[in-house]
Amino acid sequence: MQFEILKKDRNSGARLGKCHTAHGVFHTPAFIPVGTQATVKAMTPEELREVGAEIILSNTYHLYLRPGHERIRRMGGLHRFMHWNDPLLTDSGGFQVYSLNSLVKVSKEGVQFQSHLDGSRHFISPEKAVEIQEALGADIILCLDECTAYPASHEEAERSLELTLHWSRRCRDAHRFPDQALFGIVQGGMYSDLRQKSAETLVEIGFDGYAIGGLSVGERKEMMFQVVAETAPLLPQDRPRYLMGVGTPGDIGEAVRQGLDMFDCVLPTRNARNGTLFTRSGKMVIKNAKYAEDSLPIEPGCRCYTCRHYSRAYLRHLYLAEEILAVRLNTIHNLHFYLRYMSDLRQAIAEDRLEGFMQDFNSQWESGKEPASEGPESLPPRSGGRQRISFEGTHGLTKSFRMNLKNQQGGEFDV
Amino acid sequence: MQFEILKKDRNSGARLGKCHTAHGVFHTPAFIPVGTQATVKAMTPEELREVGAEIILSNTYHLYLRPGHERIRRMGGLHRFMHWNDPLLTDSGGFQVYSLNSLVKVSKEGVQFQSHLDGSRHFISPEKAVEIQEALGADIILCLDECTAYPASHEEAERSLELTLHWSRRCRDAHRFPDQALFGIVQGGMYSDLRQKSAETLVEIGFDGYAIGGLSVGERKEMMFQVVAETAPLLPQDRPRYLMGVGTPGDIGEAVRQGLDMFDCVLPTRNARNGTLFTRSGKMVIKNAKYAEDSLPIEPGCRCYTCRHYSRAYLRHLYLAEEILAVRLNTIHNLHFYLRYMSDLRQAIAEDRLEGFMQDFNSQWESGKEPASEGPESLPPRSGGRQRISFEGTHGLTKSFRMNLKNQQGGEFDV
């Protein structure tokens, strides 16, 4: 993988970049749609490209359990399996192991857990995490890490960090394929000294890119941005910086100004399934009665397929009727919104007007804000230790063949 | 509407036709995908056209209840509402009223029932059925009829027929718009004399087309075809004949030979959602373990989007993972299969080789038949009277926001 910085913003840490992977190029700052089970829910690869996606994410944990990484390898790898021939990123599964399982045992050797699908026992070492991702064949892969609980004492966060650093070294050693870029993940909780230690040690070990993990886990936004602001300058300029699990458009814009290049988040896709649509003037809850006969598109001027052809009234009807087409049309719009926003961000950086763009965007966003009635914007706080979070509603874990589209506080599984 | 017979088969009752409606042309014999709630589940209009659909069906009963026919009228009509600018057919709602409601009261004046959505009471007269369909604006609309229970005594079937004929006259009188074609529906249970009386009376009243209703309600196939064989010759040659709710490809082929022109059925779409895929060699149950690493498409040689890009292994994975994309890809294939089959039928009629085509098709279909493990091919038998059928599983009636994709014996609602 080659990361090319095309331009550095003069007034902030933002960078305009281009990342060359074994399966093509993506431009940064980039938003990465999340596709947990070898599919970005409801979208075909062609539609993803049509809305502007250049790179997508798939979850190692889920694919390891079903259909299995060896099976995917035998089928020719994940790109081929899911008909996505463009840049692909897999995470290591660390986060999902914790968020989806109640019986997780962590040791220096790795993570032991039970499958949320059938209760079978599994063990993943750092080497295994790399091996699985090698079999899947993504262009960018991640180290196995421990996502530090929040809140955590300094002692807990330090112990957790040591584990992650130990695992990161082993992932680095196990990493074989040059056409797969391996990213290290900065942890350290909300402690500046630990974050610093983490960043410096990862740089010392040396990775193809650096992710910042363990944020957007229930902490206040200000704290998250403080950690980002302190961490980014410690990472090499010439490598991509990936802020995991973030965020709202405003969050992304702020993090871009602090020098982050890559972002993944379930917000656009999950909100779509819950009938919440993104517009420049804030979020729209489509089931609201006021849209019952509204012939306007979601956002007048939006060029996505949904806005070019369908009224709010029809989208509301589909949503209330629990139709699959509701999920599709909403997802198309929200992903188009996010990816268009990233494109606008890149354009603003290129033209030295990032600050003005962000101000305009943020003020318009705040101006029209509907009261948020659909779910939290970040994951619920994690309890101390590695106990399973109790999420409301089913999130794909039911055995019967049902899709719970109202899962607003779903875990990583329902993306 | 103008119905043009392009060719009559010399060796059977089959006809090749072309139907000109206010929103364009469709060719007969035609298969009409079913789209209950102003959407053919999971498909956009563009995709429907891409798989070969020229006309689709929407259910009056459901749209009357939600979002309401007046609302749709104010939004510019159903074509515009759902972005389908091609031929559109609505049924009168008669069947759904019975199949979805337990408290149905029938009188000469019409049908009183309770909404399956919220229990509210409603009354639909023949005039109201026409009014609703006028508001929706479909190109072909149907008379209000009573779908005679099966089994029914001769006396019951006759009483039921008298009601339908009475209502048919009133629908005809209420019918106003010349660009909306009104079809009468032949009833009469399984009794030749009643079917004859029904057909002759409807022809006397005079309609733009003639549907045959009250079949595929639990009777043996041989009985259904006997009724069809006796009824078709009694209908005018120069009007389309529409066999409602039928059927498998083999059924359709047989009915085409007996002179039927139009067919609607939930089989391809519902089976798709249940992971059952149509091939020339019979039905394939995609969740079967033998497909776990099968890199072939569903049907080698099939030119649908799904078969051009995805393996059975991936489709199986998606289905087991309960992903929306599974529904989409399966539906695309099954509809393509059905519509391609209709195209082949038309071609065979045009080239005077219908018999040979049917023989080849039927023998290949029978040759590879997997044991049918997913649901019956026709609706379960109706009990006498108008009691609600108890269907297994939820079929969209649950209040919580879930889509039961495993509804194999679903009523008309889950199409």
Q: In what order do the strands lie in the sheet with A105-107?
A: A105-107, A110-114, A121-124
CB contact under 8 A, A293 and B405: no
pLDDT in tens, A3-16: 999 999 999 999 99
- Please identify which of the residues A145, A261, A264, A414 carries the catalytic annotation: A264
- On whether any CB of chain B is under 8 Å from the CB of A363, the answer is no
- The answer on pLDDT for A400 being more than 70 is no
Give the model's pLDDT for residue B360.
97
Tell me which residue in B41, B321, B401 faces A324 most closely, judged by beta carbons.
Answer: B41
Q: Give the residue among B82, B73, B95 at the shortest CA–CA distance from B413.
A: B95
| Residue B354 vs residues A37, A182, B10: alpha-carbon distances, Å | 45, 61, 10
Give the model's pLDDT for residue B369.
61
| Residue A7 vs residues A233, A252, A361: alpha-carbon distances, Å | 17, 18, 22
CB contact under 8 A, A317 and B37: yes
Q: Give the residue among A254, A167, A175 at the shortest CA–CA distance from A215.
A: A254
Establish whether B86 is a catalytic residue.
no
CB contact under 8 A, A325 and B43: yes
Distance CA A116, CA A372 (A): 31
Distance CA A344, CA A232 (A): 22
CB contact under 8 A, B325 and A293: no
Give the model's pLDDT for residue A381.
37
Angle (nearest 5°) at CA A173 between A167 and A174: 90
Give the model's pLDDT for residue B332.
98
Contact A122, A354 (CB under 8 A): no
Q: In what order do the strands lie in the sheet with A24-28?
A: A2-8, A15-21, A24-28
CB contact under 8 A, A71 and B328: no
Q: How many other C-beta atoms lie within 10 A of the C-beta of residue A20?
A: 14
- The residue behind tokens 């035998």 is A74
Tell me which residue in A38, A83, A401 faces B404 most closely, judged by beta carbons.
Answer: A401
- On whether any CB of chain B is under 8 Å from the CB of A74, the answer is yes
CB contact under 8 A, B314 and A75: yes
Q: Give the residue among B206, B11, B289 at the shortest CA–CA distance from A71.
A: B289
Distance CA A308, CA A297 (A): 7
The encoded tokens of residue A412 equal 């990583």
What's the whole-number average pLDDT of chain A?
Answer: 89
The amino acid present at A6, given as its one-letter code, is L
- On whether any CB of chain A is under 8 Å from the CB of B295, the answer is yes
Give kind and range of the element (H or E) at residue A348: helix A324-350
- On whether any CB of chain A is under 8 Å from the CB of B193, the answer is no
Distance from CA of B292 to the nearest CA of A (A): 8
| Residue A162 vs residues A157, A196, A325, A338, B156: alpha-carbon distances, Å | 9, 13, 47, 35, 81
pLDDT in tens, A39-64: 999 999 999 999 999 999 999 999 99
CB contact under 8 A, B81 and A401: no
Give the model's pLDDT for residue B90.
98
Greatest alpha-carbon span in chain A: 60
Considering only residues 133 to 172 of chain A, which have any Cβ-Cβ distance to chain B shorter than 8 Å?
none
- On whether any CB of chain A is under 8 Å from the CB of B403, the answer is yes
Q: How confident is the model at residue A368 (pLDDT cuts 50, 70, 90)?
A: confident
Give the model's pLDDT for residue A382.
37
pLDDT in tens, A65-93: 999 999 999 999 999 999 999 999 999 98
Residue of B nearest to A305 (CA): B44
pLDDT in tens, A339-351: 999 999 999 999 9
- Beta bridge partners, B278, equal B283
Coil, helix or strand at residue A140: strand
Tell me which residue in A75, A292, A405 faces B401 most closely, judged by beta carbons.
Answer: A405
Give the model's pLDDT for residue A395.
32
Question: For residue A212, what are the contacts with CB-CB under 8 A and spacing of at least 6?
Answer: A185, A186, A227, A228, A231, A232, A241, A242, A243, A244, A260
The encoded tokens of residue A16 equal 């305009």
The dihedral over CA atoms of B144, B147, B148, B149, expressed in degrees to the nearest 10, equals -150
Tell me which residue in B67, B295, B404 faces A317 most closely, judged by beta carbons.
Answer: B67
Report cis status (omega within 30 of 0) of the bond before B178: no
The encoded tokens of residue A266 equal 């379930």
CB contact under 8 A, A314 and B75: yes
- On whether any CB of chain A is under 8 Å from the CB of B392, the answer is no
- The answer on pLDDT for A394 being more than 50 is no
Considering only residues 309 to 348 of chain B, which have any Cβ-Cβ distance to chain A shorter than 8 Å?
309-311, 313-314, 316-318, 320-325, 327-328
Q: Where are the alpha helices (DSSP H) in A206-323?
A: 221-231, 249-257, 267-273, 305-309, 312-320
- On whether any CB of chain A is under 8 Å from the CB of B308, the answer is no
Give the model's pLDDT for residue B99.
81
- pLDDT by residue for chain B (415 residues), tens digit each? 999 999 999 999 999 999 999 999 999 999 999 998 999 999 999 999 999 999 999 999 999 999 999 999 999 999 999 999 999 999 998 788 778 877 789 999 999 999 989 999 999 999 999 999 999 999 999 999 998 989 999 999 999 999 999 999 999 999 999 999 999 999 999 999 999 999 999 999 999 999 999 999 999 999 999 999 999 999 999 999 999 999 999 999 999 999 999 999 999 999 999 999 999 999 999 999 999 999 999 999 999 999 999 999 999 999 999 999 999 999 999 999 999 999 999 999 999 999 999 999 999 999 976 544 333 333 333 333 333 322 222 232 223 233 433 333 333 333 3
| Residue A38 vs residues A34, A66, A267, B123: alpha-carbon distances, Å | 10, 10, 18, 48
| The three-state (H, E, C) secondary structure of chain B, written as one string | CEEEEEEECCCCCCEEEEEEECCEEEEECEEECEECCCCCCCCCHHHHHHCCCCCEEEEHHHHHHCCCHHHHHHCCCHHHHHCCCCCEEEECCHHHHHHHCCCCEEECCEEEEECCCCCCEEEECHHHHHHHHHHHCCCEEECCCCCCCCCCCHHHHHHHHHHHHHHHHHHHHHCCCCCCEEEEEECCCCCHHHHHHHHHHHHHHCCCEEEECCCCCCCCHHHHHHHHHHHHHHCCCCCCEEECCCCCHHHHHHHHHCCCCEEECCHHHHHHHCCEEEECCEEEECCCHHHCCCCCCCCCCCCCHHHHHCCHHHHHHHHHCCCHHHHHHHHHHHHHHHHHHHHHHHHHHHCCCHHHHHHHHHHHHHHCCCCCCCCCCCCCCCCCCCCCCCCCCCCCCCCCCEEECCCCCCCCCCC
- Beta bridge partners, A366, equal none
Q: Give the residue among A24, A40, A181, A134 at the shortest CA–CA distance from A87.
A: A24
Give the model's pLDDT for residue B386.
32
- Please identify which of the residues B86, B145, B264, B414 carries the catalytic annotation: B264
CB contact under 8 A, B309 and A39: no
pLDDT in tens, A262-297: 999 999 999 999 999 999 999 999 999 999 999 999
Cβ burial of B176 (10 Å; 0-12, 13-18, 19+) is exposed
Residue with more model confidence, B46 or A102: B46
Give the model's pLDDT for residue A370.
55
CB contact under 8 A, B82 and A314: yes
Model-level pTM? 0.90
Establish whether B91 is a catalytic residue.
yes
Cβ burial of B373 (10 Å; 0-12, 13-18, 19+) is exposed
The encoded tokens of residue A72 equal 């995917």
Residue pairs spanning A and B at CB distance below 8 A: 135
Contact B17, B27 (CB under 8 A): yes
pLDDT in tens, A300-341: 999 999 999 999 999 999 999 999 999 999 999 999 999 999
Coil, helix or strand at residue A224: helix
- Beta bridge partners, B60, equal none
Tell me which residue in B75, B322, B401 faces A401 most closely, judged by beta carbons.
Answer: B322
B49 interaction partners in chain A (CB closer than 8 Å) = none
pLDDT in tens, A134-147: 999 999 999 999 98
A328 interaction partners in chain B (CB closer than 8 Å) = 42, 44, 324, 328
CB contact under 8 A, B325 and A44: yes
- On whether any CB of chain A is under 8 Å from the CB of B252, the answer is no
CB contact under 8 A, B67 and A292: yes
Contact B244, B185 (CB under 8 A): yes
